[in-house]
Structure 1
Amino acid sequence: MFITSMQEYYNCYSFSFCNKDETEVGNKIILPATALTSLNYLHVPLPMTFQLSNPEKGLITHCGVLEFSSDKNDVAYVPSWMMRNLSLEEGGLILVSNVFLPQGTQIKIQPQQKEFIFSCDDPKTILELCLNRYTCLSQGDVFRVAYGDRTFDIAVLECKPEPAIRIVDADIAVDFAPPADYDEMRHDSRRV
């Protein structure tokens, strides 16, 4: 039998448990050094991308890795927004599997708050700058971007060419859907 990928279960905790709150805006996780040993043995290409699964709920998302420095071999540290997308509580069980994702070409996103459009002079440029903290995107995720002293939630409605894509060093076309709270702003004249 040939092992071609790493699949490990970890207890999942948010970054607040390891004093890395500044990494909440992004989709990179912290894994133990034992994971790096396994991945090196498998000759996994860079950038490393992973599928996170909540086995109880059947929910998945994708991410990159920030570092291999978890102080416990059975613990992964994950942004709280990813835990919310996976319906996980602190200490919940996740399955982490390395995967190869195709390079992204296009995404369609939807700001969840109209303030993202109105508080930024150029929302598209702000989004592009914020996406530098992300390795990949998954259709159906709601991720976070920071602008000034605010944090905004953005839903991924569509990814191309696949439902999960790598976005590192990619030239991706970005389409905006009207904000989720668009009904409240119908009479406003500013266009998205």
Structure 2
Amino acid sequence: MFHFSGFNMMFPDGGRNFQAAYKCFSVSMLPGNERSDVEKGGKIIMPPSALDSLTRLNVEYPMLFKLTNKKKTRTSHAGVLEFVADEGKCYLPYWMMDNLLLEEGDILNIESVSLPVATFSKFQPHSTDFLDITNPKAVLENALRNFACLTKGDVIAIKYNKKVYELCVLETRPGNAVTIIECDMNVEFEAPVGYKEHSDQQPAKQQGGQAAGSNEPADNGTVLEEVVETFKGSGVRLDGKQKKESQMETPVLKKVLPRGVPDYDFQFGLLRFDRSIKPICDRTQDDGETTGEAGSDADSFHGTGFSMKKTRK
């Protein structure tokens, strides 16, 4: 066994398996320009010596690695993005360090592995805000392009519209760890954490089956009356005279009709018109005769009429 940089351990070239131990750090600790692209995916950054060893060992592509935190007995899987880290160090996305319960500078064991191609995966969002996304499958598909593999039990983080969403990987097929590079994978979503389909709290009902503060009619079909006060305050005439009592505004009784009951006997293509409206009652004129339109017009206009045509004497 050979030792490099204190923490980098390689097996002889005769083996087909790559194993190494590095001090791991989050991407924010990477020297140089900010590498936000690493945080968006599921790939790590390793030192150049790892690439040399992998080349000599003829490790099959794509390069996939099993990440193990032996102190916490936590494992995950990842791909590699670049080989530009300092010797003896590797850099991980912050969400991956959370899954592995790693602190800055902890020792991480890395081993090359071969994973089956994914056929199915199931995710559960950690927040109901994920429901606000119009097309979550398209968003997830676009985000997973920066991932190389998925591990059952991991909580991955994807960024969409400047907001980070966390999703738990509930299930993967055909194994607990799969590669998602160049594959056709079916995706399902579980209800988000904290999501309730029906609210447990119901509004308190008053007597008569009516909710408190509600103007809706009772469920038994009874027509209720609601008093609506219009134009509160006193009115003033333009000529300065006192307003007559007959001209005072009176409260208006507003009838609240019962809710409509669906017609369970409805036949498709048949129109039915509501005939429950009562006809206009015949009104009695001063002479005692009853007419239809004449009586209605007489009651509608109470003023005195004048004729523009002068009568001859």
* Residue equivalent to 2:119: 105
Query: Which of 134, 146, 167 is 1:133 aligned to?
Result: 146
The structure with more radius of gyration: 2
Q: Name the SS for the 1:116 alignment partner.
A: helix
1:94 and 1:57 map into 2 onto residues whose CA distance is: 11
Greater strand fraction, Structure 1 or Structure 2: 1
Task: Look up the SS of the partner of 2:54 in the other structure.
Answer: helix
Of 109, 117, 123, which residue of structure 2 is paired with 1:95? 109
| Inter-partner Cα distance in structure 1 for 2:89 and 2:36 | 17
Asked if structure 1 preserves the Cα contact closer than 8 Å seen for 2:67 and 2:78, the reply is yes
Output the CA distance in 2 between the equivalents of 1:186 and 1:164. Answer: 35
Shift of 1:21: 2.8
CA-atom RMSD in angstroms = 1.2
Question: Which of 58, 72, 88 is 1:74 aligned to?
Answer: 88
- The answer to whether residue 67 in structure 2 is matched with residue 49 in structure 1 is no
Tell me which residue corresponds to 2:136: 123
Counterpart pick for 1:152 among 159, 165, 169:
165
Q: CA offsets per residue over residues 49-74 of structure 1, 9 Å max, x none?
A: 0010001011000000000010x211
Listed as ranges, the gaps of 5+ residues in structure 1 are 188-192
Distance 1:117 1:54 in 2: 34
Residue 135 (structure 1) shift: 0.4
More helix, by proportion: 1
The CA distance in 1 between the partners of 2:95 and 2:198, in whole Å, is 29
User: How many residues were matched structurally?
Assistant: 184
Q: 2: CA distance between counterparts of 1:7 and 1:181? A: 41
Which residue pairs with 2:301 in the alignment? none
Contact 2:122 2:169 in 1 (8 A): yes
Q: C-alpha distance in 1, partners of 2:194/2:187?
A: 20
User: Under a length normalisation based on structure 1, what TM-score does the superposition of the two structures give?
Assistant: 0.92
Q: Distance in 1 between matches of 2:129 and 2:137?
A: 14
2:28 alignment counterpart: 16
Report the residue type matching 1:100 in the other structure: S
By relative contact order (CA 8 Å, sep 6+), the higher-ranking structure is 1
Q: How big is the shift at 1:46?
A: 1.5
User: Identity percentage over the alignment?
Assistant: 38
Give the CA deviation at 1:22: 3.1
